[in-house]
C-alpha cells in the first residue's frame, strides 16, 4: 500500500456496533465485566482504549514498525525511553537537541543515577568514541532542533548494533512521510504527535514505535505504570490528521524551500539553515536518508535588534511555542524552546540571541514571502 492509503486506512476497522467508517471516540474510563475474569479484554482506560489502539496501529504502520505506544506528550514519549535503562547506565545523546529533551535528561534523570555524554553526531565516529562499558542507549534527533543538522542514522545504528546498544531517533521534524528511521536500522523511533502528525495545533501527544517485542513490552509497561496516556479525544483528532499528512507535508516542504531560498537572498539575513538548500554541508546525507526536506527553517539576522523587530513586525509567522501546524509560527530559541540549555552550550551549537526558528505553514506562498519581506526591512 502507498503512504496515503496506509494513513487513511491503516490500523482502523469499522466500528463493531454500527459499522461507522471513522473510528469512534471511546470516552470511557472503565469497562464492564460479565463475571470474574469474563470480559472483552478491556479493563481500565489507562491500560487500553480502542481509539488509542487505532492511533498506535496507524502510526506504527506509517513508520514501518510493528508496535506503537502512545503518550500524553512528546516529552512523556521521551521519558518512556528511560524505561530501557537503569541507575548506573550511560546514554550518548546528540548535543544538537530540543531544549525540553535536554532539560529532561540533564535536570531530571541525572538525579536518578543515569549519566549522559553529549556529542556532535554529524560525525558518527564521535558516537563510537563516547561509548563506554555501561552505555545502554544512543539518542539521536535528526534533523535537529533548531539548527537542522543531521545524524547518519544507518551509520550510528550499525555502531549501536556492534556494541549491543539500543538506538533511538526523534523523528518529529521529518514525520514518517519524509524519513523512516526503523528502515534505516534504528531500534526505536519517537514523535511529538503535537507537531506534524497532528498538524493542527489542537492536541498535545507523543508516540514511540519499534519492531522489537522486548522494547515494546518495556515501554508498554511504562505507559501503563506511569499512566501518561493521551485522551481518546486527542487520539481521535490525531487519527483524523494522519489521513492528510502526505498532502500537508508536501505543502510544508514546497513552501519552506521557497522561503529558505528567499531568506538566503535577503541582505538582512546572515545565515540560513534548511536541509533543502544545496549548500547545506550534509546535502548528500539528506538525499540518502530523507525523501523530503520538511517545513522547519532557522536563520540568523546577526543582530538581536533586527531579530526583535522581525518578531514585532511579522503578521503571519506568529511568535509562539511549538511547530508543525498548518499555520506558520516563529520562535526565539534562546528565550523559548532552548531556554533551559546553558548559554555556552547554545552558543557552541550556533544558537545565538539573533537566531530565529520558523515553522513554515501551508498558507499561500506569496503571502508568506510578502510577510517576511516586510518583517525583515
The catalytic residue positions are: 46, 98, 170, 195
Contact 103, 129 (CB under 8 A): no
Phi, psi of 119 (to 5 degrees): -130, 155
Alpha-carbon distance of 146 to 172, in angstroms, equals 12
Alpha-carbon distance of 115 to 309, in angstroms, equals 41
Contact 242, 7 (CB under 8 A): yes
Alpha-carbon distance of 131 to 160, in angstroms, equals 9
Q: Which of these, 177, 211, 173, lies nearest to 192 by C-alpha position?
A: 173
Which alpha helices (H) appear in the chain, and where do they start and end?
Answer: 3-9, 50-62, 74-81, 99-107, 124-130, 153-162, 175-178, 213-226, 232-242, 245-265, 283-289, 304-313, 343-349, 365-375
Amino acid at each position: 500500500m502507498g503512504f496515503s492509503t496506509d494513513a487513511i486506512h491503516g490500523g482502523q476497522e469499522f466500528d463493531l456496533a454500527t459499522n461507522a467508517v471513522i473510528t469512534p471516540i471511546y470516552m470511557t474510563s472503565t469497562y464492564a465485566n460479565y463475571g470474574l475474569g469474563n470480559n472483552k479484554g478491556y479493563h481500565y482506560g489507562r491500560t487500553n482504549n480502542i481509539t488509542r489502539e487505532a492511533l498506535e496501529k496507524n502510526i506504527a504502520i506509517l513508520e514501518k514498525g510493528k508496535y506503537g505506544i502512545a503518550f500524553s506528550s512528546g516529552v512523556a514519549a521521551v521519558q518512556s525511553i528511560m524505561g530501557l535503562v537503569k541507575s548506573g547506565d550511560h546514554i550518548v545523546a546528540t548535543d544538537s537537541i530540543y531544549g525540553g529533551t535536554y532539560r529532561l535528561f540533564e535536570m531530571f534523570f541525572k538525579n536518578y543515577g543515569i549519566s549522559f555524554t553529549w556529542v556532535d553526531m554529524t560525525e558518527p565516529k564521535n558516537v563510537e568514541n563516547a561509548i563506554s562499558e555501561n552505555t545502554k542507549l544512543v539518542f539521536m534527533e535528526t534533523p535537529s532542533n533548531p539548527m537542522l543538522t543531521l545524524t547518519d542514522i544507518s551509520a550510528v545504528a550499525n555502531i549501536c548494533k556492534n556494541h549491543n546498544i539500543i538506538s533511538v531517533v526523534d523523528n518529529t521534524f521529518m514525520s514518517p512521510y519524509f524519513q523512516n528511521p526503523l528502515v534505516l536500522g534504528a531500534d526505536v523511533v519517537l514523535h511529538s504527535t503535537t507537531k506534524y502528525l497532528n498538524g493542527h495545533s489542537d492536541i498535545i501527544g507523543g508516540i514511540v514505535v519499534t519492531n522489537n517485542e522486548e522494547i515494546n513490552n518495556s515501554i508498554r509497561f511504562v505507559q501503563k505504570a506511569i499512566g501518561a496516556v493521551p485522551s481518546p479525544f486527542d487520539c481521535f483528532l490525531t487519527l483524523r490528521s494522519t489521513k492528510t499528512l502526505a498532502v500537508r507535508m508536501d505543502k510544508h516542504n514546497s513552501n519552506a524551500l521557497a522561503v529558505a531560498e528567499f531568506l538566503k537572498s535577503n541582505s538582512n539575513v546572515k545565515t540560513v539553515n534548511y536541509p533543502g538548500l544545496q549548500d547545506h554541508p550534509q546535502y548528500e546525507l539528506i538525499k540518502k536518508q530523507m525523501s523530503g526536506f520538511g517545513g522547519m527553517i532557522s536563520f540568523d539576522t546577526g543582530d538581536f535588534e533586527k531579530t526583535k523587530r522581525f518578531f514585532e513586525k511579522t503578521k503571519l509567522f506568529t511568535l509562539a511555542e511549538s511547530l508543525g501546524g498548518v499555520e506558520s509560527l516563529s520562535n526565539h530559541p534562546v528565550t523559548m524552546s532552548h531556554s533551559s540549555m546553558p548559554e555556552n552550550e547554545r552558543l557552541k551549537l550556533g544558537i545565538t540571541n539573533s537566531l530565529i526558528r520558523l515553522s513554515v505553514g501551508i498558507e499561500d506562498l506569496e503571502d508568506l514571502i510578502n510577510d517576511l519581506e516586510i518583517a525583515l526591512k
